[in-house]
Structure 1
Amino acid sequence: MAGGSLAPIGVVKERAELYQGRVTLHVLIACMVAAVGGSIFGYDIGISGGVTSMNGFLQKFFHSVYIKKQHAHENNYCKYDNQGLAAFTSSLYLAGLVASLVASPITREYGRRASIICGGISFLIGATLNAAAVNIAMLLLGRIMLGVGIGFGNQAVPLYLSEMSPSHLRGGLNMMFQLATTLGIFTANMVNYGTQKLEPWGWRLSLGLAAIPAFLMTVGGFCLPETPNSLIERGSKERGRKVLVRIRGTDNVDAEFQDMVDASELANAIKHPFRNILEKRNRPQLVMAICMPAFQILTGINSILFYAPVLFQSMGFGRNAAFYSSALTGGVLAGSTFISIATVDKLGRRVLLISGGIQMIICQVIVAIILGLKFGENQELSKSYSILVVIVICLFVLAFGWSWGPLGWTVPSEIFPLETRSAGQSITVAVNLLFTFIIAQCFLAMLCHFKFGIFLFFAAWITVMTLFVFVFLPETKGVPIEEMIFLWRKHWFWKRIVPEYPQVDENETI
């Protein structure tokens, strides 16, 4: 400590019971517009897998994969195993990882809207480059620009939603991001279903239509109000209070406003949030920012969504049947998000995460057994077993859609104090995209070598993450975002680590 004195210590009093307000039209419109940012992420997830199985796309950019795909006696599990093809998908997520870290200071210094707008513009440029791609270099450049857009969008949008929402409905409103993501996936699957018939140029239309959600995100960013938390943190207290009054629908916002002011004083005392987030008092949030997004990807969901057409074709489904099945899984995922929106603020986060985890484990094991017993290297599944596999995968997607899908974003976005919130969200997005990159790059090779064991691999990870939630994650339902610190002080494990009162060394303010 510098001379034994301390800087501001943030929120020190629980005032949640004094919060006033309701869900206003202003909040609903702002959250719906902001959530469009999730659609760019979902559209790319859905579109990539379909495009990489289109003959016209493979012939132009990955001819060796096209030849292997046509080989009648090729190993079913290995026909798409190509690191160049995997790099087309995964390069975006590496770019997004870097962009999410760059987005943190922009989000903090210039507001959440600034990062949303930057993300929309970058994604729009990437979509244009991909649709006009004439060589692999141009294609990869477009993917990098898409990744930058996703990095900025995923960093800012969940924060925006959490800060705008009233605490008693924060979970449901925050999940509009996941809803937009799932609708983007479903839309992409339906687009692929139509464009795969437009050989050899249908892939251009699939990739180019990404410009639509990017345009909506960009325009929406200009129209959105800034969050009161961000305005207060950047010194505009009066504007912040006016926005808070408008979105809560009442003049009686003193308690919530004071929590924001207290939090902003500590936030402004912190000049190095990434360094500060490593402090012992921020250990629980840091652990969650790393584990929650990593576990979300280790469910195996992105592998199924990326490569649904590829996966189903590998199992012997016909070309049209594969696209139809992947469109079905996309529809199930979108529908299941409504279950989470309706229940998350009633049942809580832990119940959904644990129940979803158990159902996903069962589904992964069943698929592994079916493929292990009934699917060889040069044979196709029978019609009855093919239908059963699709049903079980849909049940898996259903469970993910009400649990780890939305909550993998919601929980990290709501647990950080204001002074490390942008940095924490950047870490969350970076970890998510890092693991997305790793799984996307490795999945086709893992499918080739592990065969049906790939599903057991993911089942084992889901078991680990379900136990993690049961032991280490406190229930955040209904807790005001600026009072999350009190949760860690009461938790049986984290209270041993988090000090009773937060203290900031004055050296940190330099």
Structure 2
Amino acid sequence: MYAYNKSYIIRMAFISALGGYLFGFDFAVIAGALPFLADQFALNEYWEGFLTASLALGCIAGCLFAGAFSDKVGRKKALMAAAFIFLVSSLAMGFSTGRDVFIFARFVAGVGVGMASVLSPMYIAEISPASMRGQMVSINQLTVTIGIFITSLVNYALRDAGDDAWRWMVGLGAVPSFLFLIGVIWLPESPRWLVTKKREKDAAIILHKIGGELYAVKSVSSIQDTLQGEDTKKVSFKEVFSRAALPAIIIGMGLAVFQQWSGANAIFNYGAKIFESIGFSLGAQLKQLVIINAVNLIFTLIAMWQVDKLGRKPLMLFGALGLCVSYIISAILLQQGLSVAVWPLLAAIAIYAMTLAPVTWVVISEIFPNKVRGKATSIAVVALWMAYAVLVFTFPILVEKTGTYTPFYIYAGICLLGFIFVKLRVKETKGKTLEELENVMTRH
């Protein structure tokens, strides 16, 4: 019906999604740096967990700040702030003089990552036509996986760089954050945000470039209809948890927590520890992390191809059951100390990469009403980062107290519960405009 300027939409999505690359970088760099940091700072299992989780604690702060900040100054300026924070904190981590300084710098990096994790998918969803939105938002997950993969390659290349290898690993985060900052300068403002600020003409110019005159007129009108009679200048958290928005909030938070407690990120962050438990050397551990992250990247590409074809709900249901089975097999093999446990772990990463990893971000970016989208998205992503913090803090403690295999039995049970939640509570969002979804979710 509309002649979309696909190349323009894709360019905007990729630049915004560089925020996902920063998440991927900081997510993966700790897996390679942790063996060096553990020796450098004499970390026990509690400090390992806290150092790893400090990123998530910063992310929580960034998420709480991002929604209201972006509602006030716009998505573009907020994305620029996130890039700058990450740039400074990356350099601070690289030049850290001690454990506490490193943890604080990693916390600050988390603030930037948390802001980007809210703003990048939100911005992409707001500039993308309904028929392309799933694939475009999935670009954010693609850049996350590219960041993870490239960082794991760099970690592997630096494995013999000496005791200070970790400084190069973490300090190199300044490079993608600088590129992200430069790229965001080119981005237009979100047209949906512009309409909430009564700047319909500016919004129409951007929408016209995206899909032509008819698309611009219809989109502006549709956005205005969802905002009619509402004061969009100030949105309280009480309004976010109103009866109309609450069903979407419950679903968004539930999916966010499930995505993290499904357990895949324990493999990403503590793969070296897992592989050490079945006899791999440090070099072999880092090599296995490269393989895991390559699988993650390949299957994320498959997810981008399928998310607007198969739909969100079927992929999440398949992911929940597939992870449950993979974890049970992994736990049995790890309990016996067998190196073939690598294979079901790789299968788990593949399943996660093409289901829960990207689809959760897509759904969170879609389901909230226009008026409260900034704050509501922040709340859902805060729940995600809180769940991540719990996951990465508890994993090394569980491993030390109960064995490497025990957490995977726990994650298998969580995945089974997640399957039930998705089956009963989540509605399909494929192919609907954000305004149509608002009407569906408020009738949930």
* Structure 2: runs of 5 or more not aligned: none
Paired letter, 1:476: T
Q: Which deviates more from structure 2 when the two are superposed, residues 204-213 or residues 257-266?
A: 257-266
TM alignment of 1:138-153, pairs within 5 A:
138-153=101-116
Residue of structure 2 in register with 1:7 after alignment: none
2-structure distance, mates of 1:468, 1:23: 38
Shift of the alpha carbon at 1:394? 1.0
- Aligned residue among 351, 366, 388 for 1:399: 351
Residue of structure 2 in register with 1:432 after alignment: 384
TM alignment of 1:167-178, pairs within 5 A:
167-178=130-141
1-structure distance, mates of 2:99, 2:265: 24
Paired letter, 1:338: L
Give SS of 2:198's match: coil
Q: Is the 8 A contact 1:266 1:419 kept in 2?
A: no
2-structure distance, mates of 1:219, 1:24: 22
1-structure distance, mates of 2:62, 2:277: 34
Q: Deviations over 1:145-196 (max 9, x none)?
A: 2011011111111100101111011101100000000111111111111112
Shift of the alpha carbon at 1:281? 1.3
1-structure distance, mates of 2:442, 2:65: 31
1:99 aligns to 2:62 (yes or no): yes
2-structure distance, mates of 1:150, 1:391: 31
2-structure distance, mates of 1:149, 1:92: 10
Q: Is the 8 A contact 2:50 2:393 kept in 1?
A: yes
Residue of structure 1 in register with 2:29 after alignment: 47
1:271 aligns to 2:234 (yes or no): yes
Number of residue pairs matched? 443
Residue of structure 2 in register with 1:414 after alignment: 366
Residue of structure 2 in register with 1:77 after alignment: none
2-structure distance, mates of 1:330, 1:184: 9
Paired letter, 2:400: C
2-structure distance, mates of 1:117, 1:97: 18
Residue of structure 2 in register with 1:315 after alignment: 278
CA RMSD of aligned residues (A): 1.5
1-structure distance, mates of 2:441, 2:184: 34
Q: Is the 8 A contact 1:90 1:440 kept in 2?
A: yes
Change (3 A) 1:183 1:266: farther
Residue of structure 1 in register with 2:41 after alignment: 61
Q: Deviations over 1:63-86 (max 9, x none)?
A: xx4xxxxxxxxxxxxxxx521122
Residue of structure 1 in register with 2:287 after alignment: 324
Shift of the alpha carbon at 1:110? 1.1
* Structure 1: runs of 5 or more not aligned: 1-18, 66-80, 376-380, 495-510
Shift of the alpha carbon at 1:270? 6.6
2-structure distance, mates of 1:329, 1:121: 30
2-structure distance, mates of 1:249, 1:87: 50
Q: Is the 8 A contact 1:20 1:253 kept in 2?
A: no
1:449 aligns to 2:401 (yes or no): yes
Paired letter, 2:342: V
Q: Which deviates more from structure 2 when the two are superposed, residues 471-480 or residues 354-363?
A: 354-363
Paired letter, 1:389: A
Shift of the alpha carbon at 1:262? 2.0
- Aligned residue among 18, 22, 36 for 1:36: 18
Q: TM-score, normalised by structure 2?
A: 0.96
Q: Is the 8 A contact 2:3 2:212 kept in 1?
A: yes
Q: Deviations over 1:107-162 (max 9, x none)?
A: 11111111111110001111000111111232122112201101111111110010
Q: Deviations over 1:429-487 (max 9, x none)?
A: 11111111111111100122232121110000011111111111111000101111332
Q: Is the 8 A contact 1:337 1:402 kept in 2?
A: yes
Paired letter, 1:59: D
- Aligned residue among 151, 159, 162 for 1:196: 159
Paired letter, 1:334: L
Change (3 A) 1:489 1:224: closer
Using the aligned pairs only, state the percent identity: 25
Residue of structure 1 in register with 2:99 after alignment: 136
Q: TM-score, normalised by structure 1?
A: 0.84
TM alignment of 1:453-468, pairs within 5 A:
453-468=406-421
Paired letter, 1:370: L
Residue of structure 2 in register with 1:366 after alignment: 329
1-structure distance, mates of 2:413, 2:388: 18
2-structure distance, mates of 1:252, 1:244: 7
1-structure distance, mates of 2:40, 2:402: 29
1-structure distance, mates of 2:417, 2:229: 36
Residue of structure 2 in register with 1:180 after alignment: 143
TM alignment of 1:255-270, pairs within 5 A:
255-266=218-229, 268-269=231-232
1-structure distance, mates of 2:101, 2:281: 31
1:488 aligns to 2:441 (yes or no): yes
Shift of the alpha carbon at 1:271? 2.5
Residue of structure 2 in register with 1:24 after alignment: 6
2-structure distance, mates of 1:101, 1:162: 20
Q: Is the 8 A contact 1:106 1:114 kept in 2?
A: no
1-structure distance, mates of 2:399, 2:129: 44
Change (3 A) 1:194 1:84: same
1-structure distance, mates of 2:9, 2:388: 31
1:126 aligns to 2:89 (yes or no): yes
Q: Is the 8 A contact 2:196 2:232 kept in 1?
A: no
2-structure distance, mates of 1:46, 1:401: 15
Residue of structure 1 in register with 2:176 after alignment: 213
1:82 aligns to 2:45 (yes or no): yes
Q: Which deviates more from structure 2 when the two are superposed, residues 447-456 or residues 400-409?
A: 447-456
Q: Is the 8 A contact 2:326 2:345 kept in 1?
A: yes
1-structure distance, mates of 2:166, 2:304: 34
Q: Is the 8 A contact 1:120 1:217 kept in 2?
A: yes
- Aligned residue among 255, 269, 275 for 1:292: 255
